[in-house]
Amino acid sequence: MLSSGTIGDLFVVPDMIMILEKLRLGDYGMRKGIRMDTALITAISKLVEHACASEQNKIGYEIWKYHIKPMVPLAQELAGVQKADEEIVTLAVLLHDLAGIEDFSQRKLHHSFGAQRAREILAGYQYPIDKIELVAQCIFNHRADLNLPKQSPEEYCVADADMLINIVDIPSLFYDSYHQEHLGFAEGKTWRQSTLELYWGHVSMISQAQFLDRFNLVKRLSLGNDREPYSFTSDLERTLADLVKKACLSEKNAYGYGIWENHIAPMVTIANELAQLHSADAEVVRIATLLHDLSSIEDYSKAKEHHIHGAQRARGLLREAGYPVKKTELVAQCILHHRASVLMQKLTAEEQCLADADAVAHMGDLPSLFFVAYDKQGMTFEEGQRWVKQKLERDWQKMSEIAKHRYAEQYAGIMSCFSI
């Protein structure tokens, strides 16, 4: 059993970081102890990439960058466990979509045309006939929708990798749900879960056992923060929570109710736990968390300076509630200094705690970040990836060393999901 860390209830498996980094870099060189014809593999790789870059390719260069290239190390990993011929698997993966790339009219039968195209290409390199046929069979039988019988571990590796690449490519899942399918936030979650289950159902049992931890991680990342909400014990905190929830339910709230469910509510739990690490006043931190985005929720025109307006709004609410003056000002300072994008020195443990909790909450809420990128701002696939990645990096850089130490493994795992 592999050890794992947690981010909220989000489990991050250490080897997930390694494989996702390989996928990101497209690292499909020889593994130690594995002998492959690197000259042939390099030649085939260049041939396929050239076809993907051609104007005749109606699918776009993205099929190379985000599907074929990262699929190779994934298939090689499967081959290593299943004792399949990695050279055969590598060649089959490189060539499995080539027919549809070179001629879009062959797309519906690209497995059949692709098998024949592989035979022609590999024969030109005087590749052994028996190996050519095995590569061709891998390509012919790789399509999950046809459910064709497979006779060799190489065939299973290629077919499984074709499904698994769709599972581990987390940014594409978000792009497809929000941009391609034009789904709302809640509908997007449902679609991603059903799509992941569909892909997973086509993966062989041996590969499922190998990738189970990673599959569960992706499911959690695609859902976002799923922590148990904090149970408030004081009347003041319950009153403030009700006020913020009501504001989140209002039609004036440009963010939708999801900002409560997916950001503020789980962030309270995170902040309460971080308060212990920082030796901070947990009550102050929880109240600051409840109120830190309130000004922009009530009035979106204040979003760019919501830290300033939010601090003043908190002062008014807490003075009205008869909250101690010193604690009121401490809450206000927490809100004023919480934003990673606004450089302000944090003078107290409570201020740092709120800023850390905001960053950690973002780490666990990829659905909301990608929804803003692809739906609200209409970004392209790469623009959205870059925007979300840079936001997470910016948040991380502003976190305290205490919080970084606590969440280092989780952060590395999440950042490895990005292909740019």
Query: Does 160 fall in a domain?
Result: yes
Decide which of 31 and 412 is more confident.
Answer: 412
Contacts of 197 (CB under 8 A, 6+ apart): none
Q: Residue 29: is its pLDDT beyond 80?
A: no
When divided into structural domains, the chain yields a total of 1
Query: Does 151 fall in a domain?
Result: yes
Decide which of 328 and 347 is more confident.
Answer: 328
For 412, the 3-state DSSP assignment is helix
pLDDT for 347: 77
Query: Does 68 fall in a domain?
Result: yes
Mean pLDDT of the chain: 89
pLDDT for 38: 92
CATH of the domain at 154: 1.10.3210.10
Q: What percent of the chain stands above pLDDT 90?
A: 75
What per-residue string of b and e applies to 346-369 under the rule 16 or more CB within 10 Å gives b?
bebbbbbbbbbbbbbbbbbbbbbb
pLDDT for 51: 97
Helices assigned H by DSSP within 228-281: 235-249, 258-259, 265-278
Residues 210-269: tens digit of each pLDDT: 999 889 989 989 988 877 888 999 999 999 999 999 999 999 998 888 899 989 999 999
Dihedral sign, CA of 143, 147, 153, 157? Answer: positive
User: What is the domain range of residue 130?
Assistant: 31-168
Query: Does 155 fall in a domain?
Result: yes
Nearest Cα neighbor of 409 from 396, 419, 395, 394 is 396
Query: Does 317 fall in a domain?
Result: no
Residues 190-216: tens digit of each pLDDT: 999 999 999 999 999 999 999 998 899
Phi, psi of 96 (to 5 degrees): -65, -25
pLDDT for 23: 47
Query: Does 97 fall in a domain?
Result: yes
